[in-house]
Chains A and B, each alone.
Chain A
Amino acid sequence: MIEGKKIERRTKADIFFDILRIVQQDQGKTKTTRILYGANLSYARLKKYLDYLIQNGFLEKVEKEAIYFVITEKGLQFIQEFRKVKRFSEAFGITI
């Protein structure tokens, strides 16, 4: 408990959403370090999630001078759908 508020654990879906949103906010293309700090994850966990997102077509890995992650159309659709999921679930008091 911090300042009387309960800390809620993020679900996997929440973490995917956070990662994709960081990439989207960075003009759809960003480096690992930005995601690492933005999503507040350890490097090992971030790597696991990035691998999953790449394998499932939500992100693409581009290697030009440095390594970049680019959001795909499927990733953008996930962000939109997930926003609806959050609003709808919150309205019914459902935790995802």
Chain B
Amino acid sequence: MVFNLIPVISQFPLTTLVPEWFYLFSGLIYFAVAAISFFISYFSFRLFNVTSSKSHSVLSLSFLLIGIAFGMLSFVSLYTYQNSAALNPNIFNLNENTYNIYYIFALAAYILLTMINLPKKKSEFFVFVPLWFISSPGFLATAILFLFYISARSVMNFFKVKTEDAFLVMFAFLMITLFHIFLLLMPFGIELYLAAHAFLIVGFLSLLAMLIRVTRK
């Protein structure tokens, strides 16, 4: 089976070529991730109405940002797949702009998730995010740093409460961290791109499983 090879737009140097069906594959995964994120955001917001807890509102906002970020990626990936035969500068520009917005939204979401997980006694902290994150490797490296912290906290939480729900959340954050690590390593092999997206969808399915378990009566 022969596939057309097209560049991974706005993620890495244009010398990185992937089969065009990768755009369909990643577009569908991003769509599922966005949908799950919106569900979690909505549920957290409902809980915020019960508890008026700041943590629930921040959690809701962070997943809303993740949902918007991946929703945009889904749109642009599927659009690129549809128009890959006539790859023109407009598609490159659209991809570049969308990825830049994605970097900002996703990083904002990870910072909010980090805030929720900060030790309660330290009420003030300062996050310095240099603007170099607005490039793929820069974004991935910064995101991985935040996700390492979030994952470590979720591991500690799992060992503290030892529930299946906490395990699913811990597993999800570890998978999302692996997604970013594998994307960063993508220049070493196209198959890493495929594996990264497999980790991403498995992670979000784990969050969906947790949500279903919690919401069912």
Contacts and interface: CB of A to CB of B under 8 A. Distances in A.
A91 B50 contact: no
Interface in A47-96: 78, 80-82, 84-85, 87-96
A81 B214 contact: no
Interface string B23-36: 00000000000000
B47 interface: yes
Contacts of B201: none
Contact of A92 (B50, B116, B160): B116
Interface string B105-146: 000000000001100100000000000000000000000000
B47 A92 contact: no
B163 A90 contact: yes
A85 B215 CA distance: 9
B161 interface: yes
A91 B166 CA distance: 4
B149 interface: no
Band of interface residues on B: 20 to 34
Contacts of B197: none
A81 B161 CA distance: 20
Interface stretch (B7-15, B52-60, B184-192): B52-60
A41 interface: no
Contact of A87 (B55, B157, B165): B165
B116 A91 contact: no
Given A91-B210, A93-B153, 12 more contacts: A13-B50, A78-B50, A85-B50, A85-B51, A89-B56, A91-B161, A91-B166, A92-B169, A94-B53, A95-B55, A95-B120, A96-B53
Interface of B: 43-44, 47, 50-51, 53, 55-56, 59, 116-117, 120, 153-154, 156-157, 160-161, 163, 165-166, 168-169, 210-211, 213-215, 217
11 contacts: A13-B51, A84-B214, A88-B44, A89-B47, A89-B55, A91-B161, A91-B168, A91-B169, A93-B157, A93-B160, A94-B116
